[in-house]
Amino acid sequence: MLHYLLKELVPPLLLNLRWYSFKYGWKGAYKSYEEARQKCTGYDEEHILHRIIATTLKVKNKEIAYERDGIAYDSAQMNFPLLKTLLYIASKNDNELTLIDFGGSLGTTYYQNIPYLKHLKKLRWCIIEQPEFVEAGKKHFENEHVKFYTTIQECMAEHKPQLFLICNVLQYLEKPYALLDEAKGLGIPYVLLDFVGYNYQNSDRITIQFVPPVFYGAEACYPCYFLNKEKVEETLKENYEKKYDFISANEKYYVQLRPFRYEGALWELLP
């Protein structure tokens, strides 16, 4: 009986956060990205890159099924709304697909989806990343499908993408709306936002996300926005129409006891 009473009394935070605790997760509300960054050790740490290289090589060599953020998985953690969108856009382009994967690490999303895209007549997966990741990507992971670039302009000079993918990265940029402004001006037929955490208030909130060592082999922290959804959508509406939105994952997370789920949406260029 005591077990059931405790289950009812314990806040959902403690039941659902899994690896989150009062030490890890999203903390604070800062006035600027720079103020938060000064208190952080970020994603560009050398040991994080080495960890991600090692786990991605295991995926490439088929030693493990999937990796994300340096964690190895026995089976791929599928993102079905994303896969559905990739297949939908390819179907509208004679089974050909060229996309920009902005902030795509060393190919996490590519390896996640390639088993279901092998039938396409053409696939070009262009990853835009930090210089250190691009160097590692070119050395270890480029292939007939995957290419790495440090800038959007460099990629656009070689390819004509049908999709601009921004997956689980927008909230970590110092100027997220600048990326949206750039993306909407490129004339790419589709923009897909995925795994975005939005603020429950009609404003942006800047936090610090504290990540436990299970992810990168060492503790890490970096600034993280919870964006104003209305502002994000108004920015894109100048050039795009929203086709559909979705919940990226069913799992709930919490920011100071307030629950949220990651969201996504597909946007189509206006005629």
Annotate 152-189 with DSSP letters as a single string: HHHHHTT---SEEEEES-GGGSSSHHHHHHHHHTTT-S
Other Cβ atoms closer than 10 A to 189:
17
**What number is the average pLDDT over the span 253-260?**
82
pLDDT, position 89: 98
pLDDT, position 10: 37
pLDDT at 256 over 80: no
pLDDT, position 21: 53
| DSSP, residue by residue, the chain | -HHHHHHHHS-HHHHH-TT--SSSEEEEEES-HHHHHTT---TT-HHHHHHHHHHHHHHHTTSSSEEETTEEESS----HHHHHHHHHHHHTTTTEEEEEEET-TTTHHHHHHGGGTTTSSEEEEEEE--HHHHHHHHHHT--SSEEEESSHHHHHTT---SEEEEES-GGGSSSHHHHHHHHHTTT-SEEEEEEEPBPSSSS-EEEEEEE-HHHHSS-EEEEEEEB-HHHHHHHHHTTEEEEEEEES-S--EEETTEEE--EEEEEEE--
Domains defined for the chain, CATH in brackets: 2-44+79-269 (3.40.50.150)
Percentage of the chain lying above the pLDDT 90 cut: 70
pLDDT at 167 over 80: yes
pLDDT, position 46: 78
> In whole numbers, what is the pLDDT of the chain averaged over residues?
88
pLDDT, position 16: 42
Other Cβ atoms closer than 10 A to 81:
19
Report residue 195's pLDDT band, with 50, 70 and 90 as the boundaries.
very high
pLDDT at 177 over 90: yes
Per mean pLDDT, which range of 33-37, 56-60, 212-216, 236-240 is the poorest? 212-216
pLDDT, position 19: 44
Please state whether 39 falls in left (phi above 0), alpha (psi between -120 and 50) or beta. alpha
pLDDT, position 42: 57
pLDDT at 17 over 60: no
Report residue 43's pLDDT band, with 50, 70 and 90 as the boundaries.
low
Per mean pLDDT, which range of 27-31, 72-76, 81-85, 107-111 is the poorest? 72-76
pLDDT, position 255: 82
**What number is the average pLDDT over the span 212-218?**
74
**What number is the average pLDDT over the span 128-154?**
97
**What number is the average pLDDT over the span 6-11?**
37
Per mean pLDDT, which range of 123-132, 174-183, 207-216 is the poorest? 207-216
How far apart are the C-alpha atoms of 140 and 134, rounded to whole Å?
A: 10
How far apart are the C-alpha atoms of 125 and 107, rounded to whole Å?
A: 9
